[in-house]
Structure 1
Amino acid sequence: MNIVSVSRTIIRLPSIGRSAAIRIAARPTLASATVVRNESVDVVRFFAAAGIVFVHATESAPLVRWGNFFRFAVPFYLFASLYFQSLSLRRNPERTLPRYAALRFRRLYLPFFAWSVIYLLAHDLKRVLSHDSLVSLRPSMLWTGTEYHLWFLPFLLLASLVMAVVQRTFLQQDRSLRWVAIAVAIGSGLAFTQVPMPASWGSTTDSSLISYMQWWRAISAACWAMAFAWFMTLGPVIFAVTPVMGVAGIALVLACSLKQVLNDIQLIPRGLTGLGCMLAALTPWRGPVVSWLARYGRYGYGIYLCHVLILEPMHVLSARLHLPPSIPRDFVIFGFGFAGSLALVQMLGRSSRLKWLNG
């Protein structure tokens, strides 16, 4: 399952009195569980996708700085994917690790590879038109991709496999061990925030090193996402999130995002934005606005994959027209980039042969 498919469903079972928990059987049957779409997750995905496009669209100094306000997308995708993967592992204890790995590979790596080929062809076309040499192929492209944002898919694949191995090997046998696993995951994430990133990674234009920098920034959030997933899903009850907790999650996202605007990217606040987004996403918000945003938010993963294909030509055109970076120009590129990406993924979604490119 990928970011999109795993977050489409939740298990709705009878609530326990007035407590904030929902009981779930270890092996629920079709008769005991109803699969419904979680619109709140789609709404958060909408804002996450818009945030990613904004970060990559802006080049003017003021908006580049405010781009740090929207760095919650990657932590949220980690929290959401690993949370729903943990639920899936719990509901399907008979699924073997090799089978799980094969499914994750198909859902994550195949779109990664396809989009790497697409971006490689786009880069080569641009170079041919500019009378430059073609892009040099490197083995590292197999795990970093051919565009700067594709690093996330192999990273999520690896994080999913690590969580599955721990959950299948230890936690499925004795769920009381989840407290040890949670403590280790939280501690590992905190410890990693103290590990200095190699200086060369932050001052390079090499695409492989940029990907490694992004991996380094995401490891702590991945650890905390595993801890959250195990806490929420592996006890005798699966905890629900109340509106009060959802509002607190939104406040946490706003506070941590603003802190990064003021102080640049910081690993702990960045990771906490994933927690806040997940609390907001698991809150059962209702209403026409929620449904409207969710309708487009379900395409968030596809937007993430294709948006650079829309943004780069606009950046090239702006450079050819000698338009300097400015706030109005950035907002125009962002608007057309987001709308164009949404239109592209909707078009792909209508094709039975190409919809898998949306993840």
Structure 2
Amino acid sequence: MAEERNGLTDYGRFAASLGIVWFGIQAPGQRIAYIALPFILVLLMAPSRSGLSGWARRLLWPFLTWSVVFGILHTALALKGNDPPFGWWNPDMLLMGTWDHLWILPFALLAAIVAPWLQHPIVSLGAAWAAALLIVVKGTPEAMPYHQWSFGIIPILVGIAYFAWGWRLALVALLGSWLILHLGHPAPDNTTILVGSGLALACLTWRLPASALSERCSRISVWIYLAHPLVVFIGQSLRISWVELGLFSMVGSVILAQLIDTAAHAPRRGNLQL
């Protein structure tokens, strides 16, 4: 219901999706825009009322659909360059999809599957701190998608802690994990995880009235995240670069997301009233 929504998280999702677009084009301010990723990961752990089937519709279906979309793009580019049509394929894509940004979906689905076993307060804290300690001891893997997973594991666990026990436990999990990383594995990503996850907790804790606008912002944020590489690809094909590419990509991604959202919510022909 509309009154159950938090307008602040709706607007936060929209801003974070634009941050992902900016981060992806390597423009100035890329490090600041990167805080959008842990922000999104925390919010992805919001529980589904439909259980595992709801998680599959929310995460697995978009992963498969957009993997096909970007797989077609890869194939078209291969044919244009007279390369083997499926030479771009590698087995890692089973876990990360056919474009780099899709890794977040199967990763979040795996986290959702194990989340019920991580919801005891001690287990929630222990899992987040143990993940940070493992990164300190073992380092960050270079192989994809495990490199991305090592970045995303703490925001995911902070999200699980929040939706199980609220902001206090989640904040303790976040600060403890950050301290372990800061002392044992200093890296810029540590601050990114801290700030992005902290902003997500703030948006979840504080509330704004939901509205039709906030709900629409939340919906199109999903399409912006999923579809934005298509707009970036068009911009690069037009030889747009640097800040101009960022602006083109953000505006174009919003327009494309609006078009997709309108098509997705268009009334079916059989439901039209004469």
TM bucket normalised to smaller:
0.7 to 0.9
Q: Map residues 70-89 of structure 1 onto 2, 5 A cutoff.
A: 70-82=33-45, 84-85=46-47
Of 62, 68, 71, the match for 1:120: 71
Aligned-residue Cα RMSD (Å) equals: 3.2
Look up the match of 1:179. Answer: 121
Look up the match of 2:110. Answer: 158
Are residues 293 and 110 of structure 1, via their aligned partners in 2, closer, same or farther at CA, if it must alter by over 3 Å? Answer: closer
Are 2:241 and 1:299 equivalent residues in the alignment? no
Using structure 1 for the length normalisation, give the TM-score: 0.61
Q: CA shift at 1:193, angstroms?
A: 4.0
Are residues 226 and 344 of structure 1, via their aligned partners in 2, closer, same or farther at CA, if it must alter by over 3 Å? Answer: same
Q: Flag the structure with larger Rg.
A: 1
CA shift digits 1:122-159 (9 cap, x unpaired): 11112222333223333332221100100000000011
CA shift digits 1:76-95 (9 cap, x unpaired): 2222232x31xx5xxx7xxx
Question: Percent identity between the aligned chains?
Answer: 24
Alignment-mate amino acid for residue 32 of structure 2? F
Is the Cα contact below 8 Å between 1:193 and 1:268 reproduced in 2?
no
Are residues 285 and 104 of structure 1, via their aligned partners in 2, closer, same or farther at CA, if it must alter by over 3 Å? Answer: closer
Alignment-mate amino acid for residue 108 of structure 1? L
Is the Cα contact below 8 Å between 2:96 and 2:103 reproduced in 1?
yes
CA shift digits 1:202-225 (9 cap, x unpaired): xxxxxxx34321112111222222
Stretches of structure 2 lacking an aligned partner (at least 5 in a row): 176-185, 269-274
Is the Cα contact below 8 Å between 1:145 and 1:151 reproduced in 2?
yes
Look up the match of 1:144. Answer: 96
Of 185, 188, 191, the match for 2:133: 191
Are residues 335 and 303 of structure 1, via their aligned partners in 2, closer, same or farther at CA, if it must alter by over 3 Å? Answer: closer
Higher helix share: 2
Stretches of structure 1 lacking an aligned partner (at least 5 in a row): 1-8, 11-34, 93-98, 168-177, 202-208, 240-251, 253-262, 354-359
Q: CA shift at 1:119, angstroms?
A: 0.4
Aligned residues: 252
Look up the match of 2:166. Answer: 232
Look up the match of 1:55. Answer: 23
DSSP-derived class of the 2:59 partner: helix
Are 2:270 and 1:270 equivalent residues in the alignment? no
**CA separation in 1, counterparts of 2:81 and 2:110?**
37
Deviates most, 157-166 or 224-233:
224-233
Look up the match of 2:156. Answer: 222
**CA separation in 1, counterparts of 2:128 and 2:149?**
17
Q: Map residues 274-289 of structure 1 onto 2, 5 A cutoff.
A: 274-286=197-209
Are 2:235 and 1:314 equivalent residues in the alignment? yes
**CA separation in 2, counterparts of 1:69 and 1:264?**
14
Is the Cα contact below 8 Å between 1:189 and 1:224 reproduced in 2?
no
**CA separation in 1, counterparts of 2:203 and 2:255?**
27
Q: CA shift at 1:333, angstroms?
A: 2.7
Are residues 234 and 69 of structure 1, via their aligned partners in 2, closer, same or farther at CA, if it must alter by over 3 Å? Answer: closer
Using structure 2 for the length normalisation, give the TM-score: 0.78
